[in-house]
C-alpha cells in the first residue's frame, strides 16, 4: 500500500491506520464533490426556473440528456475538443430551453400551476422518447480519446483530471452565474421578475424576455452537466436524465427552491451525503438514508436550508 | 394488469379447446401419434424465430436440428427416426402457449423450447395438463421448474442450462481454487433477482471453502457512480471482487475501480457478456477480470471441437451458447427415450428426472430433484479486450 511511503513524508507522527482512515475520508470527499458538482449544476436550472415562474420544470433532466448527446456528436462527428463540445452543447440547449418555454409553457402561463406541471412532465417524456426514436435506445460510449485520463497520486490519494475538470468547471460556471445575477442588468431584471412580476412590468422590464433568458441560462448549465456526465461516466443514453434530474430537484428543494446559492449548496450536500452513506454506512441504503435526511431537513426547516420563512413555498 | 387477464382468458379458452379435442378423439389423440406410425418419434420445437429474441431461437433451432440430423443418421432412437416439428412462438408468452397446444395436437412426445423463461412459463400449463415433457434449453430463471407458491417441482418441465444463481457457485470455486483468493468483496446489482441470486450463491460457496467476505455492497439499475463504495472496498483490500450485474452498470463500475487503483481480480456472471464491456471499460482495465458462462466455442474438449466443426460446416457460423444448449436438449431427450426404452411421454418424463452423468456439449449433467442440471460452466477471461476461455469448472 502507498500509505507506507506516505508516512515518511508527513512532518508529524501518526500511526499508519489513522493515515489510511484520513486518506479514505479525503478520497470520499473528492468523490462526493464531483458527484455534487453535477447535481448542483442541474439543480441551478430547476431553482432559477422555479424562482421566476413558480414552475417545476420536469423536462430539465432531459435537457441535460440532450446536452450530453450534442456534446457526444460534436466530439465524434465534428471532432471538437471537450471544451468546444461543452460550449456547443450549452448553446444548443439554451436555444432548446427557450423554444420549450415558448412552445409549451408560455401559452399556459395564466392557467393553473398543475396544468403547467403536467405539461412539463409531458415535455420530459417527449424529449426522452423523441431521442429514442431518432437515435435508438442503446447507450452510446463517450469517446475515451476526448478526455485522456491522468491520475495524480498525492500520498496515496488518487485524484483524476476528470475530478478536477468537473469541480473546476462547475465552480467557474457558478461564479459566472452569480456575476450575471448580481452584477448585470439582465440579472437585476431576473431578480425583479422573481420578486414581483407585475411590479417589474411597471418598471419597464420585459417579462417575456427575462423568462426566456432564465430558461436559456438554466438549460445551458444543464447541458454543461450533461457533457460532464458523459466525460465522467463514459456512457450516455436517452433516459440518463431521469435519475440525476430527480436528485437535482431534491437538491434544489433541499437548498430552498427558488434560491440560487441554495441549489449550489444543496447539490454538493446531496452528492457528499450519498457518497458518505455508501462509503461509511452501506451502499445498499444509500438512497434510503440520503432521502431520509432530506425529509428530516424539510421537517425541521420546510423552506430548505437557505429558505426564508415566508410560509409559502413547497 | 390487462395482460394477466388476457392470459387467464386464453388459458381458459385453451383448456376448453384441449378438452374438446380429448373428448372428440376419445382420448386416443396422443397415443396414435407415436405407436401407430411406428417409424418416427415426433419432437416439437417451440422456439422464438421472430420478435425480440429471434436470434436466440434461431440459433437454438440450428443446434437442435444438427443433433436430430446426427441421431437420425446413426439410426435414430429405438430404431425410430426423430421427426422435428418446428414452430415459431414469435417471442410471445401467449403465442408459446398456443403453439404448444398445436404441437400437442400433432402428437409430439416432447417439446424443446422456448428459450426465454417467460415464454417457457407461457407454454408450461399446456405441457403440464397433457403430461408431455418440456425441455427448456436456456431458461435460467429459478422458478421455471418449480411452482413458486407451493415450492413443488413442476412434473413435466426440465432444463439443460444451469439456473442463474448457480453461476455464483461456479465463480466462488474459481476464485478460491484457481485464483487462490482468501478474501472477497461482493458488489452486486441489488435491484435484480439475478444480481442478488448470484451474490447469495457466491457467498455461500466462498465461505464454505474457508474464504471470508470482507464487504458486501450493492448498486441499483441505472447507477453510474460507484466510487464511494469502491473506495470503501479498496480500504478492505480484498483478493477478489465479485460483481454480479449487467454490463450497463458493470462496465463503468470496473472502469472506476481501476481508476481508483484497485488491481484485484474482478468477476461476474453472463451479464458481463457484451461488446460494450470493452468499449466502455477499455481493454487494459478489463485485464484480470472473469465471468461465468454456459459454454465457450473455444473449448479444446474434443467433443466440443467436433460439435463446433460440424455446426460451422452446416451453417457457416460460430455456434453460440444457445446453439449448444439446443443441441444438448435434443441429445438429452434421446438419452431419456433410450433409458425409458419407450417413446411414451410419461415414460420419457420419468427417465428425464433420473438422468445422471449425461455427457453434453455444455458439460456433464445430472438432473436434480428440482429438474435443474448440476453441471459444469466455463470461465471466460478478458485478455486485452478479447474474450478468452480460461477454464471449465465442474462442481
- How much is the mean pLDDT over chain A? 87
Residues B229 and B327 in one domain: no
Q: Do residue B187 and residue A283 have CB atoms under 8 angstroms apart?
A: yes
Confidence (pLDDT) at A118:
93
CATH of the domain at A284: 1.10.3470
Mean pLDDT of A22-38: 90
Residues B57 and B109 in one domain: yes
- The C-alpha of B77 sits at a distance from chain A's nearest C-alpha, in angstroms, of 46
User: Touching check for A229 and chain B: CB below 8 Å?
Assistant: yes
B33 pLDDT more than 70: no
Confidence (pLDDT) at B14:
58
Q: How many domains does chain A have?
A: 1
Residues B185 and B214 in one domain: yes
The residue out of B265, B293, B321 marking a domain boundary is: B293
Residues B95 and B62 in one domain: yes
Confidence (pLDDT) at A6:
44
Judge contact between B78 and B66, C-beta under 8 A. Answer: no
Chain A interface, mutation test: which of B185, B220, B228, most A Cβ atoms within 10 Å?
B228
ipTM > 0.85 for the complex = no
> Which is it for the CA torsion B289, B294, B295, B301, positive or negative?
positive
DSSP, res A142: P
- Of B273, B329, B332, B264, the C-alpha closest to B297 is B273
Mean pLDDT of B316-343: 94
* Domain-embedded: residue A14: no
Largest CA distance in chain A: 69
B54 pLDDT more than 90: no
Chain A interface, mutation test: which of B200, B225, B284, most A Cβ atoms within 10 Å?
B225
Confidence (pLDDT) at B2:
52
The residue out of B293, B313, B339 marking a domain boundary is: B293
Mean pLDDT of B21-31: 44
Q: Give the per-residue SS3 of chain B.
A: CHHHHHHHHHHHHHHHHHHHHHHHCCCCHHHHHHHHCCCEEEEEEEECCCCCCHHHHHHHHHHHHHHHHHHHHCCCECCEEEEEEEEECCCCHHHHHHHHHHHHHCCCCEEECCCCHHHHHHHHHHHHHHCCCEEECCCCCHHHCECCCCCCECCCEEECCCCCCHHHHHHHHHHHHHCCCCEEEEEEECCCHHHHHHHHHHHHHHHHCCCEEEEEEEECCCCCCCHHHHHHHHHHCCCEEECCCCHHHHHHHHHHHHHCCCCCCEEECHHHCCCHHHHHHCHHHHCCEEEEECCCCCCCCHHHHHHHHHHHHHHCCCCCHHHHHHHHHHHHHHHHHHHHCCCCHHHHHHHHHCCCCEEECCEEEEECCCCCEECCEEEEEEECCEEEEEEEECC
CATH of the domain at B364: 3.40.50.2300
Residues B342 and B262 in one domain: no
Confidence (pLDDT) at A63:
97
Neighbouring C-beta atoms of residue B34, cutoff 10 Å? 20
Confidence (pLDDT) at A1:
39
- Region for residue B131 given its phi and psi (left: phi exceeds 0; alpha: psi -120 to 50; beta: otherwise): left
* Domain-embedded: residue B388: no
CA A157 from centroid of its chain's CA atoms? 26
The residue out of B293, B324, B345 marking a domain boundary is: B293
Indicate the range of A176-185, A278-287, B157-166 predicted with least confidence: A278-287
Confidence (pLDDT) at B25:
46
Confidence (pLDDT) at A66:
97
B48 pLDDT more than 60: yes
Residues of chain B with Cβ-Cβ distance to A243 below 8 Å are 222
Its domain, for residue A68, covers 25-300
List pLDDT tens digits, range B232-265: 999 899 999 999 998 889 999 999 999 888 999 9
Residues of chain A with Cβ-Cβ distance to B261 below 8 Å are 151, 153, 158
Largest CA distance in chain B: 73
Q: Do residue A24 and residue B235 have CB atoms under 8 angstroms apart?
A: yes
> What is the rounded distance in angstroms from the CA atom of residue A68 to the CA atom of residue A85?
9
* Domain-embedded: residue B246: yes
Q: Do residue A234 and residue B248 have CB atoms under 8 angstroms apart?
A: no
Confidence (pLDDT) at B40:
92
List pLDDT tens digits, range B197-237: 999 999 999 999 999 999 999 998 888 889 999 999 998 99
User: Touching check for A233 and chain B: CB below 8 Å?
Assistant: yes
Residues contacting A13, CB < 8 A, separation 6+: none
Residues of chain A with Cβ-Cβ distance to B255 below 8 Å are 234
Q: Do residue A235 and residue B252 have CB atoms under 8 angstroms apart?
A: yes
* Domain-embedded: residue B353: yes
Residues B98 and B173 in one domain: no
Residues B370 and B233 in one domain: no
Residues of chain B with Cβ-Cβ distance to A274 below 8 Å are 225, 228
Task: Kindly indicate the confidence band of residue B6, based on its pLDDT and cuts at 50, 70 and 90.
Answer: low
Residues B154 and B75 in one domain: yes
Please tell me which residue, A158 or A236, carries the higher pLDDT value. Answer: A236
B152 pLDDT more than 60: yes
Task: Kindly indicate the confidence band of residue B31, based on its pLDDT and cuts at 50, 70 and 90.
Answer: very low
Q: Do residue B282 and residue A35 have CB atoms under 8 angstroms apart?
A: no
* Domain-embedded: residue A108: yes
Find out whether the peptide bond into B112 is cis, omega within 30 degrees of 0: no
Confidence (pLDDT) at B164:
85
Confidence (pLDDT) at A8:
44
Q: Do residue A149 and residue B261 have CB atoms under 8 angstroms apart?
A: no
Q: Which of B229, B252, B259 has its CB closest to that of A279? A: B229
> What is the rounded distance in angstroms from the CA atom of residue A192 to the CA atom of residue A187?
8
Q: How many domains does chain B have?
A: 2
List pLDDT tens digits, range A151-203: 888 777 888 888 899 999 999 999 999 999 999 999 999 999 998 888 999 99
B12 pLDDT more than 90: no
* Domain-embedded: residue A205: yes
A62 pLDDT more than 80: yes
* Domain-embedded: residue B382: no
Element (H, E) at A140: strand A140-141
Chain B interface, mutation test: which of A20, A239, A283, most B Cβ atoms within 10 Å?
A283
In A161-304, DSSP assigns E strands to 235-236
Q: Closest residue of A to B260, CA-based? A: A158
Query: How many A/B residue pairs have CB atoms within 8 Å?
Result: 82
Task: Kindly indicate the confidence band of residue A309, based on its pLDDT and cuts at 50, 70 and 90.
Answer: low
Residues B331 and B289 in one domain: no
Residues of chain B with Cβ-Cβ distance to A233 below 8 Å are 224-225, 252
* Domain-embedded: residue A69: yes
Confidence (pLDDT) at A294:
78
B96 pLDDT more than 70: yes
Its domain, for residue B182, covers 166-293
- How much is the mean pLDDT over chain B? 89
Residues B282 and B206 in one domain: yes
Residues B9 and B142 in one domain: yes
Residues of chain A with Cβ-Cβ distance to B222 below 8 Å are 239-240, 242-243
User: Touching check for A195 and chain B: CB below 8 Å?
Assistant: no
Residues of chain B with Cβ-Cβ distance to A235 below 8 Å are 224, 248, 251-252, 276, 280
Q: Is the pTM of this model over 0.90?
A: no
Mean pLDDT of B264-277: 90
Residues B64 and B131 in one domain: yes
Residues of chain B with Cβ-Cβ distance to A239 below 8 Å are 222
B127 pLDDT more than 80: yes
Q: Which of B222, B228, B234 has its CB closest to that of A283? A: B228
* Domain-embedded: residue A130: yes
Amino acid at each position: 500500500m502507498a500509505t507506507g511511503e506516505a508516512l515518511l513524508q508527513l512532518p508529524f507522527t501518526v500511526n499508519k491506520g489513522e493515515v489510511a482512515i484520513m486518506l479514505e475520508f479525503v478520497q470520499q470527499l473528492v468523490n462526493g464533490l464531483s458527484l455534487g458538482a453535477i447535481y448542483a449544476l442541474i439543480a441551478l436550472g430547476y431553482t432559477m426556473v422555479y424562482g421566476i415562474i413558480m414552475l417545476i420544470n420536469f423536462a430539465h433532466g432531459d435537457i441535460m440528456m440532450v446536452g450530453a448527446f450534442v456534446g457526444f456528436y460534436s466530439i465524434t462527428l465534428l471532432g471538437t475538443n471537450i471544451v468546444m463540445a461543452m460550449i456547443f452543447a450549452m448553446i444548443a440547449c439554451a436555444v432548446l430551453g427557450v423554444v420549450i418555454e415558448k412552445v409549451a409553457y408560455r401559452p399556459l402561463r395564466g392557467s393553473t400551476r398543475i396544468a403547467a406541471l403536467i405539461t412539463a412532465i409531458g415535455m420530459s417524456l417527449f424529449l426522452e422518447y423523441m431521442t429514442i426514436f431518432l437515435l435508438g435506445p442503446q447507450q452510446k460510449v463517450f469517446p475515451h480519446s476526448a478526455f485522456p485520463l491522468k491520475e495524480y497520486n498525492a500520498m496515496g490519494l488518487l485524484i483524476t483530471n476528470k475530478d478536477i475538470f468537473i469541480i473546476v468547471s462547475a465552480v467557474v460556471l457558478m461564479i459566472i452565474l452569480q456575476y450575471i445575477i448580481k452584477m448585470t442588468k439582465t440579472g437585476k431584471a431576473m431578480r425583479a421578475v422573481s420578486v414581483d412580476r407585475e411590479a417589474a412590468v411597471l418598471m419597464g422590464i420585459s417579462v417575456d424576455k427575462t423568462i426566456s433568458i432564465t430558461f436559456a441560462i438554466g438549460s445551458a448549465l444543464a447541458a454543461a452537466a450533461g457533457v460532464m456526465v458523459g466525460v465522467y461516466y463514459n456512457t450516455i443514453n436517452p433516459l440518463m436524465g431521469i435519475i440525476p434530474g430527480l436528485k437535482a430537484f431534491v437538491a434544489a428543494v433541499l437548498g430552498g427552491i427558488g434560491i440560487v446559492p441554495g441549489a449550489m449548496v444543496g447539490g454538493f450536500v446531496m452528492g457528499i451525503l450519498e457518497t458518505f452513506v455508501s462509503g461509511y454506512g452501506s451502499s445498499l441504503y444509500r438512497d434510503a438514508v440520503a432521502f431520509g435526511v432530506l425529509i428530516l431537513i424539510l421537517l425541521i426547516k420546510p423552506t430548505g436550508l437557505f429558505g426564508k420563512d415566508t410560509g409559502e413555498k413547497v | 394488469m390487462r395482460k394477466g387477464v388476457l392470459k387467464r382468458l386464453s388459458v381458459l379458452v385453451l383448456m376448453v379447446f384441449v378438452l374438446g379435442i380429448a373428448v372428440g378423439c376419445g382420448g386416443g389423440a396422443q397415443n396414435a401419434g407415436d405407436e401407430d406410425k411406428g417409424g418416427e418419434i415426433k419432437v416439437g420445437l417451440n422456439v422464438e424465430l421472430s420478435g425480440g429474441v429471434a436470434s436466440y431461437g434461431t440459433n437454438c433451432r440450428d443446434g437442435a436440428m444438427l443433433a436430430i440430423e446426427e441421431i437420425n443418421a446413426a439410426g435414430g432412437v429405438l430404431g425410430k427416426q426423430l421427426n422435428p416439428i418446428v414452430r415459431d412462438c414469435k417471442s410471445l408468452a401467449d403465442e408459446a402457449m398456443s403453439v404448444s397446444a398445436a404441437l400437442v395436437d400433432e402428437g409430439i412426445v416432447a417439446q424443446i423450447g422456448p428459450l426465454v423463461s417467460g415464454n417457457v412459463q407461457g407454454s408450461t400449463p399446456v405441457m403440464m395438463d397433457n403430461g408431455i415433457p418440456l425441455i427448456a434449453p436456456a431458461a435460467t430463471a429459478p422458478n421455471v421448474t418449480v411452482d413458486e407458491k407451493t415450492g413443488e417441482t413442476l412434473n413435466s418441465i426440465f432444463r439443460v442450462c444451469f439456473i442463474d444463481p448457480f453461476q455464483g457457485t461456479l465463480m466462488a470455486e474459481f476464485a478460491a481454487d484457481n485464483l487462490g483468493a482468501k478474501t472477497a468483496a461482493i458488489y452486486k446489482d441489488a435491484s435484480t433477482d439475478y444480481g442478488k441470486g448470484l451474490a447469495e450463491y457466491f457467498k455461500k460457496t466462498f465461505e464454505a471453502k474457508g474464504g471470508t467476505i470482507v464487504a458486501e455492497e450493492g448498486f441499483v439499475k441505472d447507477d453510474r457512480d460507484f466510487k464511494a463504495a469502491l473506495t470503501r472496498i479498496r480500504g478492505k483490500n480484498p483478493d477478489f471482487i465479485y460483481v454480479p450485474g449487467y454490463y450497463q452498470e458493470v462496465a463503468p463500475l470496473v472502469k472506476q475501480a481501476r481508476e481508483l487503483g484497485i488491481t484485484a481480480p474482478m468477476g461476474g456472471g453472463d451479464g458481463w457478456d457484451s461488446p460494450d464491456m470493452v468499449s466502455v471499460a477499455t481493454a487494459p482495465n478489463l485485464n484480470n477480470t472473469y465471468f461465468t458462462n454456459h459454454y465457450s466455442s473455444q473449448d479444446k474438449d474434443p467433443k466440443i471441437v467436433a460439435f463446433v466443426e460440424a455446426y460451422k460446416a452446416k451453417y457457416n457460423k460460430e455456434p453460440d451458447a444457445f446453439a449448444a444448449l439446443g443441441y444438448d436438449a435434443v441429445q438429452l431427450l434421446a438419452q431419456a427415450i433410450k433409458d425409458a426404452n419407450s417413446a411414451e411421454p410419461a415414460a420419457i418424463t420419468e427417465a428425464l428426472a433420473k438422468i445422471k452423468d449425461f455427457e453434453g456439449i455444455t458439460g456433464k449433467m445430472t438432473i436434480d430433484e428440482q429438474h435443474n442440471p448440476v453441471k459444469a460452466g466455463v470461465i471466460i477471461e478478458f485478455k486485452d479486450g478479447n474474450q478468452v476461455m480460461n477454464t471449465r469448472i465442474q462442481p
